[in-house]
Amino acid sequence: MIRSLMNGFEERRGGWPRLLCALLVLVSSLPTVAQQLTEEEFLKNSVRDRTALYHDPLLDAPLVSLVKLYRGAERVDELVGLYRSHVEQYPQDAGAKTVLIRLLRRVDRSGADEMIASAVRLHPDYAPLQYVLFRFLEERGDARATEALSRAIDLQTNPARRNEWLEQLLQLSEGASARALASQQFSKLLAVENQSAASLLALARLMQRYQFWELSISALSKAKAARPGPDAEVEIDLMLAGAQAQLGNRIDAGLMLDALLRRLSADHWRRREIMSQRISVLATEEEREEMLAVLQAAYEANPGNETSVLDYVDLLIASEKRSEAVKVILAALADSPGSRLIESRALELLETSPDPADYADFLEQRLEIAPDRADLRFRLVKAYYALGRDADAEQDFKTLVAGLDLAELSQRILELQRYLRSIDRIAAAAPYLEDFVRNHPTRLDIARELAEIYAVRDDRPALERLVKTVNAAEADISALIDLAGFLVSREFLASARVFVSARLAVEPKQFDLGLLLVGILGKMGDATGAEQQIALTRELADTSSRYTRWLEEAVAAHRRLETLPGFFDSEQNRFAFAEGEWAEDKIEKFLILCEVGKQQLFNDKVARAIRERLKQPGLAAQLRMRLRNFLVGVLENIPEAAGEAEEQLKILATEDPANRPEYELRRALVYHRGQRVDLAQNLVAEIDLT
């Protein structure tokens, strides 16, 4: 690639900016020392992905992973050669050919088109190859694509993948010929013997999704004959009625749904859905009125029959006669006061009534009949709050919870306060939450909800009372961190500090809380407290990941306190390495600190520290290269250090010849930044990328 760019440049003088862009891309894509895997790790990953493709040559994830692995190591040619050699040695391995075709296309190598053509001829009955052919034709807009996909579906024995491909075929079925192919596939699947009711039902759903109504009726009829379970049989009848309605056979659909309704009890969980579908197949207003008359007559003939009542009410609602439906349901409940089914429907209707007072009146009447019904009384409490009748609500709530144990009382309080917050009655919710927190001082998750209310009201005195109420020392740590984080986000820093400090007093080695307190103290401007907490928490940063988190919080705090340079110097001074004392974790932490220093633009300090380390004798070769690499990265950000960066890159090219092209490309960029264009051009021309 570099050679072709250089040739173009030589032909067109003045093309250096384009070449520079290419260099930048190449430098960023070249593997660094830190990214390299050992040969053992490389082979392990390669075998893992190739094994997965051996078992299923159409998998995407292992192919993507495999290409990434070999491309990162600049060994793509080796991977392609590996599969080519295998195919030459085992010409009957259709799976390997499938993988090779996909590989060639992914890495943009020639030969894939020819291999598809020859492989499909040699292995006409191999489904994955037919599918690859389909994708090939589809990308080119070839009309034969759907035929190839149809052939692949015929050959596929895995039901899940076959259905996946069939779905793709259906998505392409816009023209008459494509729909004809899809219809043929459905007919073939229907002809398969001994299919289960569940399989046929799934097939029918797919048919209906793409509006193959006649075929779906055939599939559903076969499913019904396969002795499905009760719920599946209801689903089949519903779908049959739906298909008939779509075909314009509304009378037949209505008769099917009527038969289904007669078969099901009044409390069947799908009855209302079925009634809704029954209403939807009524074509005219006259038909609707006729059905209303029939259901009204059935209700009046037997007003105590739950099915007659509910069917009539549902049709009234569907006919936009809600007030009439309410009258009917209330009259029916008066006739059958013990019917929970009719009561439930009445509650549902009145709860969504435009006049909530009607709902409250109904609940009061029901409680006169059954004063011990806790479910109705709790509904009444909510209704009173919705009406603004807070005194009545509080009185009824006291009646409701009288005699409950603490756990039951707490549960009721939680349910009520969440309802109150849902209707924007925050002021009414707060006292209940306060009661709960007093009873459960370690439940900081609930204290968080109360804190949210106080935050909305900007009620700092209430927050201070909350701090004194809760027991942070024994609370769940995640809930404590969540509550403290919320308080910090709303700038209630003093309250957050009390929570966190109380827990750290009994659990001083809690690293996450220690970091949280560092952030709080930094935001509060408490320099002494922040420095003490930073020092305490550093002792707990015993891993690289912990050290990174600690350093981020410490830097953020010192930046707010305007003491960052001094902190960085003191932290750098902690890394004094004597010969033979380069422990791995210490090296990692040192480089993490250097990276943070680089981000904070302490480039001179970082460069000086690394130079001092490089002067030490006895450094391992890998460590020396790693430090030098980092130093170059820092020097590249210091314009006046171009000469040193150049020398360090020359040393790296000698110490690490395997990555010499990378270092030379980076040196060319150093020359370019320094306006030494001729040197950059000459160096690029000499780079050996073979």
pLDDT confidence of 165, banded at 50, 70, 90? very high
Supply the pLDDT for residue 592.
92
- In 249-282, which positions are buried (b, 16+ CB within 10 angstroms) versus exposed (e)? bbebbbebbeebbeeeebebeebeebbebbbbbb
Instruction: Determine the 3-state secondary structure of 631 from DSSP.
Output: helix
Q: Exposed, middle or buried: residue 548 (CB in 10 Å: 0-12, 13-18, 19+)? A: middle
Supply the pLDDT for residue 639.
84
Q: Which of 151-155, 182-186, 581-585, 659-663 has the lowest mean pLDDT?
A: 581-585
Residue 581 has pLDDT above 80, yes or no: no
Residue 14 has pLDDT above 80, yes or no: no
CB atoms within 10 A of CB 38: 8
Q: Which amino acid is at 49?
A: D
Residue 644 has pLDDT above 60, yes or no: yes
Longest dimension (CA), the chain: 105
Instruction: Determine the 3-state secondary structure of 319 from DSSP.
Output: coil
Residue 101 has pLDDT above 90, yes or no: yes
Q: Which residues contact 668 (CB under 8 A, 6 or more apart)?
A: 23, 679, 680, 683, 684, 687
> Do the Cβ atoms of 470 and 447 come closer than 8 Å?
yes
Residue 443 has pLDDT above 90, yes or no: yes
Rounded to whole angstroms, the Cα distance separating 486 from 456 reads 12
Q: Which residues contact 209 (CB under 8 A, 6 or more apart)?
A: 170
Residue 25 has pLDDT above 80, yes or no: no
Residue 57 has pLDDT above 90, yes or no: yes
Residue 18 has pLDDT above 50, yes or no: no
Q: Which residues contact 140 (CB under 8 A, 6 or more apart)?
A: none
Q: Which residues contact 686 (CB under 8 A, 6 or more apart)?
A: 664
DSSP state of 562: T
CA 678 to chain centre: 51
Rounded to whole angstroms, the Cα distance separating 250 from 243 reads 10
Rounded to whole angstroms, the Cα distance separating 167 from 186 reads 11
Q: Which of 257, 169, 153, 207 is nearest to 222 (CA)?
A: 207
Supply the pLDDT for residue 579.
55
Average pLDDT, the chain: 89
pLDDT, average across residues 411-418: 94
Q: Which residues contact 394 (CB under 8 A, 6 or more apart)?
A: none
Q: Exposed, middle or buried: residue 293 (CB in 10 Å: 0-12, 13-18, 19+)? A: exposed
Residue 510 has pLDDT above 80, yes or no: yes
Supply the pLDDT for residue 348.
94
DSSP state of 193: S
Rounded to whole angstroms, the Cα distance separating 116 from 101 reads 7
pLDDT, average across residues 233-252: 96
Q: Exposed, middle or buried: residue 512 (CB in 10 Å: 0-12, 13-18, 19+)? A: middle
Q: Exposed, middle or buried: residue 192 (CB in 10 Å: 0-12, 13-18, 19+)? A: exposed
Supply the pLDDT for residue 8.
40
The structure tokens listed for 551 are: 């350093």
Supply the pLDDT for residue 478.
93
Q: Which of 455, 440, 520, 523 is nearest to 481 (CA)?
A: 520
Rounded to whole angstroms, the Cα distance separating 97 from 116 reads 8
Q: Which of 38-42, 200-204, 229-233, 407-411 has the lowest mean pLDDT?
A: 38-42
Q: Which residues contact 125 (CB under 8 A, 6 or more apart)?
A: 155
pLDDT in tens, 138-153: 999 998 998 999 999 9
CA 264 to chain centre: 41
Alpha helices in 302-405 (DSSP H): 306-318, 322-335, 340-351, 356-369, 374-387, 390-401
Q: Which amino acid is at 187?
A: S
pLDDT confidence of 350, banded at 50, 70, 90? very high
Q: Which of 546, 554, 485, 560 is nearest to 510 (CA)?
A: 546
Rounded to whole angstroms, the Cα distance separating 325 from 411 reads 35
pLDDT confidence of 483, banded at 50, 70, 90? very high
pLDDT in tens, 553-570: 999 999 999 999 999 999
Per the listing, tokens 């302490």 go with: 602
Per the listing, tokens 């029954």 go with: 278
The structure tokens listed for 116 are: 């598809």
> Do the Cβ atoms of 497 and 504 come closer than 8 Å?
no
Residue 479 has pLDDT above 80, yes or no: yes
The structure tokens listed for 602 are: 């302490």
Percentage of residues in the chain having pLDDT higher than 90: 68
Q: Which of 289, 282, 228 is nearest to 255 (CA)?
A: 282
pLDDT confidence of 517, banded at 50, 70, 90? very high
Alpha helices in 107-191 (DSSP H): 112-122, 127-139, 145-155, 159-171, 176-190
Q: Which amino acid is at 569?
A: D
Rounded to whole angstroms, the Cα distance separating 41 from 249 reads 66
CA 282 to chain centre: 43
pLDDT, average across residues 628-655: 90
DSSP state of 475: S
Rounded to whole angstroms, the Cα distance separating 81 from 497 reads 63
Supply the pLDDT for residue 33.
35
How are the residues of the chain apportioned to helix, strand and coil, as percentages rounded to the nearest 5?
80, 0, 20
